[in-house]
């Protein structure tokens, strides 16, 4: 990483031109570009989502921020300072993807150990351990050894250790993956509760509904590059509106011969579902009626983050897994 | 308790809850107890047999445990990805590594102490003297465990547990045969063999310099200077292995 110049220490996360190239193969002669010149800033109190398919560079970004992986180029700063400084790390709670805890410890012992590493001790530590275990719903099972825990219990305990120091920044890597619907709901509620407290949250996921329900801002990564960035509302409304129509009495082939640029055209039994840009909707409606067809439904199509995600992947050439291999 | 002490204590707790440690400790205590049976076959060399057998049992089992524990600690953390939650905390990688090493040495120290106490009880029960060379041999054994543990840690920062254990075991044998390898070169007329044997002698820790067991068996006193030199020698090699381990560990990516 290059030496930082002047930095805004109020920004919990600031990333400039961040790149990471992994050397792979027996002789380390192949290179995989996991991240390519990523720029990112997260303001205090935001819930920021890193969205992307597998191998998009989400986890690499998080691992660089958490000091697990060294950047090849560019800089990543937490509160205006390099992330490997102990006083910076004291302000950060981290939940990795599929967390693995010391199985020989009980949940309580593990969270206590985490607290001690954060410099906590005595009565304050005991109180915090009790509180965070209660918050994640692990109060009762906390005296069992972790090897006896279910995946959901491990995830909750891992979240408890991330919260033990009362972090200003919470970094969550796929926090809801592998959880059952109830577990996912509870995890979302916990994230929302942290947001209420003013904690800045950076989390990465490929579960779009989580991003829609939790995030203030989103960056979409594909193949190690940033392809979209903005608030969920901005990104969704930036796309030109479309209209969905259900047509009866005309076959799909005849409708396709009308010359409209359909975003979607699908035969459903005796009906045809069409999706066209809003500007074409009036003309299509008139054409269908003039050809003797009947329109049973016309409604604006909701453009979702999922559509945006798929669009972004198309723009990036359909690259879904892994970075660019050289 | 600070972060370093918490991590070191956790290493001790991990070893304590590890079945292999418990089994080895139980086996060692049983073997030491069995010394009583061995004494039945001795007539005039009772003290020598008790000392030799007792120190031998301690050495064998603790060396096995040191290799087993040290070769797996870091590599297992990396394999199981528990390292993610530790390295991301406000504890530098080097301090984490040294804390794990300290935890391991604490475990070995506590086991050595427990075995020593039982060994002394045996000696007292059989009215044999507790001698200075025995104490020196025990200290030498602890230094040897430190060198082997450091080497195991170095290996485990970049290799699997199996490879680490094999290399550390190889180091143990080569370390004890260093002088023989050197002498082989001295007696050889081939320059290549001389060069190889000298290189091996200087590249590996000479663990025989820490081995005072034969002197304990024959009750030959070990001077303070000899002990001091041995201590510095072991600390030097241990420090070298630790520095190399820290350099490797600091540069690693945990994907």
Helices (H) and strands (E) in chain B, counts: 11, 0
Lowest mean pLDDT among A60-64, A73-77, A164-168, B181-185: B181-185
Q: Strands (DSSP E) along chain A, which ranges?
A: 13-24, 30-42, 47-51, 73-78, 92-95, 169-173, 200-205, 217-222, 225-231, 242-248, 264-268, 271-277, 294-301, 324-325
When comparing pLDDT for A276 and A115, which is higher? A115
B6 touching A (Cβ < 8 Å): yes
Judge: B89–A118 Cβ closer than 8 Å, yes or no. Answer: yes
What are the tokens at B227?
Answer: 């002990």
Q: Which helix (H) or strand (E) holds A306?
A: helix A305-315
Question: How does residue A318 score in pLDDT terms, banded at 50, 70 and 90?
Answer: low
Residue that is written with structure tokens 């418990």 in the block: B22
Overall average pLDDT of the B90-104 stretch: 94
Q: What b/e sequence results for B3-23 when a residue is b if at least 16 CB atoms lie within 10 Å of its CB, and e otherwise? A: bbebbbbbbbbbbeebeebee
Question: How does residue A158 score in pLDDT terms, banded at 50, 70 and 90?
Answer: very high
A307 has a pLDDT exceeding 80? no
Q: Which residues contact B124 (CB under 8 A, 6 or more apart)?
A: B130
A68 touching B (Cβ < 8 Å): yes
Torsion A222-A226-A230-A231 (CA) sign: positive
Query: pLDDT at position B209, please?
Result: 92
Question: How does residue B230 score in pLDDT terms, banded at 50, 70 and 90?
Answer: very high
Question: How does residue A3 score in pLDDT terms, banded at 50, 70 and 90?
Answer: very low
Within 13 A of B107's CA, how many CA atoms are on the CB side?
A: 32
Question: How does residue B34 score in pLDDT terms, banded at 50, 70 and 90?
Answer: confident
Nearest CA in chain A to B96: A117
Give the residue from A71, A85, A117, A126 with the most B CB atoms within 10 Å of its CB, the best one to mutate.
A117
Distance of CA A266 to CAs A149, A241, A282, B158, Å? 47, 19, 19, 56
B79 has a pLDDT exceeding 70? yes
Structure letter (DSSP) for residue B209: G
User: Average pLDDT, whole number, for chain B?
Assistant: 89
A123 touching B (Cβ < 8 Å): no
Question: How does residue B167 score in pLDDT terms, banded at 50, 70 and 90?
Answer: very high
A126 has a pLDDT exceeding 90? yes
A94 has a pLDDT exceeding 80? yes
A158 touching B (Cβ < 8 Å): yes
8 A C-beta contact, residue B159 and residue B170? no
Report pTM.
0.82
A114 touching B (Cβ < 8 Å): yes
Q: What b/e sequence results for A15-34 when a residue is b if at least 16 CB atoms lie within 10 Å of its CB, and e otherwise? A: bbebbbbbeeeeeeeebbbb
Question: How does residue A239 score in pLDDT terms, banded at 50, 70 and 90?
Answer: low
Domains of chain A: 13-91+167-236 (3.40.50.300), 240-301 (3.30.70.980)
A54 burial (CB, 10 Å; 0-12 / 13-18 / 19+) is exposed
How much is the ipTM here? 0.86
Domain ranges for chain B: 3-251
Question: How does residue B81 score in pLDDT terms, banded at 50, 70 and 90?
Answer: very high
When comparing pLDDT for B106 and A227, which is higher? B106
Which residues are paired to A202 by β-bridges?
A48, A171
pLDDT tens per residue across span B120-158: 888 888 788 899 999 999 999 999 999 999 999 999 999
Helix A122-135 crosses helix A107-117 at what angle (to 10 degrees)? 130
């Amino acid at each position: 990483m290059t030496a930082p110049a002047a930095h805004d220490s109020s920004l919990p996360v600031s990333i400039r031109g961040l790149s990471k190239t992994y050397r792979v193969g027996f002789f380390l002669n192949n290179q995989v570009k996991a991240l390519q010149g990523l720029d990112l800033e997260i303001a205090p109190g935001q819930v920021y989502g890193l969205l992307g398919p597998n191998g998009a560079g989400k986890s690499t970004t998080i691992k660089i921020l958490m000091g697990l992986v060294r950047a090849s180029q560019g800089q990543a700063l937490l509160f205006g300072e390099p992330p490997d400084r102990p006083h910076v790390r004291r302000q950060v709670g981290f939940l990795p993807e599929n967390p693995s805890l010391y199985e020989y410890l009980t949940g309580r012992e593990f969270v206590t150990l985490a607290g001690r590493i954060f410099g906590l001790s005595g009565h304050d530590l005991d109180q915090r351990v009790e509180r965070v275990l209660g918050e994640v719903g692990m109060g009762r099972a906390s005296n069992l050894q972790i090897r006896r825990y279910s995946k959901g219990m491990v995830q909750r305990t891992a979240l408890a250790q991330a919260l033990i120091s009362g972090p200003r920044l919470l970094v969550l890597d796929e926090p809801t993956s592998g959880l059952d619907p109830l577990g996912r709901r509870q995890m979302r509620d916990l994230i929302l509760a942290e947001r209420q407290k003013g904690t800045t949250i950076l989390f990465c996921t490929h579960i779009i509904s989580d991003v829609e329900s939790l995030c203030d801002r989103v960056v979409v990564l594909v193949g190690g590059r940033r392809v979209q960035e903005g608030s969920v509302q901005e990104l969704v409304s930036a796309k030109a509106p479309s209209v969905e129509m259900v047509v009866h009495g005309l076959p799909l082939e005849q409708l396709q011969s009308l010359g409209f640029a359909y975003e979607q055209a699908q035969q459903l039994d005796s009906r045809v579902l069409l999706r066209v840009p809003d500007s074409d909707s009036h003309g299509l409606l008139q054409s269908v009626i003039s050809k003797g067809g009947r329109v049973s439904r016309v409604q604006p199509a909701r453009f979702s983050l999922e559509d945006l995600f798929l669009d972004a992947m198309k723009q990036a050439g359909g690259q879904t897994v892994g970075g660019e291999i050289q | 308790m600070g972060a370093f002490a918490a991590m070191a204590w956790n290493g001790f707790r991990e070893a304590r809850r590890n079945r292999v440690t418990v089994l080895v400790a139980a086996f060692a205590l049983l073997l030491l107890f069995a010394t009583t049976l061995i004494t039945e076959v001795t007539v005039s060399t009772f003290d020598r047999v008790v000392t030799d057998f007792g120190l031998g049992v301690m050495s064998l089992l603790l060396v096995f445990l040191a290799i087993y524990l040290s070769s797996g600690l870091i590599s297992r953390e990396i394999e199981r990805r528990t390292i993610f939650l530790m390295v991301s905390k406000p504890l530098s990688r080097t301090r984490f590594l040294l804390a794990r090493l300290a935890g391991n040495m604490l475990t070995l120290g506590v086991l050595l102490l427990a075995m020593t106490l039982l060994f002394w009880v045996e000696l007292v029960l059989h009215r044999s003297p507790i001698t200075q060379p025995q104490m020196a041999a025990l200290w030498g054994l602890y230094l040897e465990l430190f060198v082997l543990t450091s080497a195991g840690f170095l290996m485990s920062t970049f290799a699997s547990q199996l490879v680490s254990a094999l290399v550390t075991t190889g180091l143990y044998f080569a370390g004890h045969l260093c002088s023989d390898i050197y002498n082989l070169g001295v007696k050889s007329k081939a320059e290549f063999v001389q060069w190889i044997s000298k290189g091996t002698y200087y590249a590996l820790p000479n663990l025989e310099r820490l081995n005072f067991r034969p002197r304990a068996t024959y009750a030959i006193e070990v001077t303070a200077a000899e002990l001091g030199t041995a201590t510095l020698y072991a600390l030097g090699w241990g420090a070298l292995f630790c520095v190399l381990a820290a350099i490797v560990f600091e540069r690693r990516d945990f994907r």
